[in-house]
Amino acid sequence: MRMSNLVQIGNPPWTRDEIVKSIDEFLELYSKRPIKDNQGGMKSPHMFAVWFMARKLNPDLIVESGIWKGQSTWLLEQACPNSKLVAIDLDLSIREYISDSAAYSDRDFSEQNWASITDRSLVFFDDHQNAYERLQQCRWFGFKNVIFEDNYPANQGDCYSLKKAFAGAGFDPQHSAQKTGGGSIPSKIATGFAKALGMTPIASIPQHLQLKIDPNDNDAHMLHKNLEIYYEFPPVIRTPQTRWGDDWNEKAYPTSEPLLQEAATPTREVFLGDAKSYTWICYTRLK
């Protein structure tokens, strides 16, 4: 059941018109962000998506897996000030923004006690892990609402995404390393320094092992069977080329219609500058 052109299953609890009408409100908030240079983390298109979706879902609990510098923690606090927030990262030392109200943990999502969650609880994954396995874990724990930031298309990215699964593409970590530089000499030198300093290289942490997944139809079939909603949040502005420098066409990169055709106002130009950071961020709701 390959669905290489799939961008949506079911209907999310919001409309496209609601999204567009929220753009300027978000930009006013985004101008106050604590970290101006969030290189390596989310940029404005995905920050807008997370802010909008979290606010509309209004969860009682938000679990954030993958903190980086802490910009998304701040964003989730702004979107849902009354929600309990648990922020997880195996390395908490990189944080620049540290919340006074979030509960932090350096234990993987799969190792936590989620006995008290409800159907309103939300998980936000920005940790570059196997999204198919993450969704299985969510079903086991009882989470229904899940956002995946790194929803890479079939032929790109450093993790097995739901978009890859729907396309039946599988995942080859060696191919990923060649594209991202994971096997490069600088990367090997950095790993050597980490070992010399007694630190554990991130690639050798069990939760971060990248296992090869052969192309298959079963994963798409099981996703379709278990998902009530799969929704790829549209890009705000779409550029002629992707972040990888090739043509952004529907055959290789099926994508929802962008929210805006042009920046139009100076305050919206940030979306144009960050347009290539888009990686098909998606919301899912389990049946």
Q: Structure tokens of 267?
A: 């305050």
Distances (CA, A) of 95 to 158, 160, 174, 209: 22, 26, 29, 23
CA distance 263 to 180: 30
| pTM of the entire predicted model | 0.89
Work out the angle at residue 76's Cα, subtended by the Cα atoms of residues 12 and 47, and round it to the nearest 5 degrees: 70
CB 19 within 8 Å of CB 259: yes
Burial class of residue 96, CB neighbours in 10 A (0-12, 13-18, 19+): middle
- pLDDT tens-digit map of 198-244: 433 344 344 445 689 999 999 999 999 999 999 999 999 999 999 99
Residues in Cβ contact with 137 at an 8 Å cutoff, skipping those fewer than 6 apart: 109, 110
Q: What 3-state DSSP class applies to 31?
A: coil
Mean pLDDT along residues 154-170: 95
- Number of other CB atoms surrounding residue 60 within 10 Å: 14
Q: Is the pLDDT of residue 122 over 80?
A: yes
pLDDT-derived band at 2 (thresholds 50, 70, 90) equals low
Domains of the chain (ranges; CATH) run: 8-171+213-286 (3.40.50.150)
Percent pLDDT > 90 in the chain is 82
pLDDT, residue 199, reads 39
Distances (CA, A) of 48 to 89, 222, 237: 22, 30, 12
Burial class of residue 139, CB neighbours in 10 A (0-12, 13-18, 19+): middle
The 3-state secondary structure of 52-121, one letter per residue:
HHHHHHCCCEEEEECCCCCHHHHHHHHHCCCCEEEEECCCHHHCCCCCCCCEEECCCHHHCCCCCCCCCC
Q: Structure tokens of 231?
A: 């929704």
Q: Structure tokens of 33?
A: 């962000």
pLDDT, residue 149, reads 98
- The values of phi and psi at residue 85, to 5°, are -125, 125
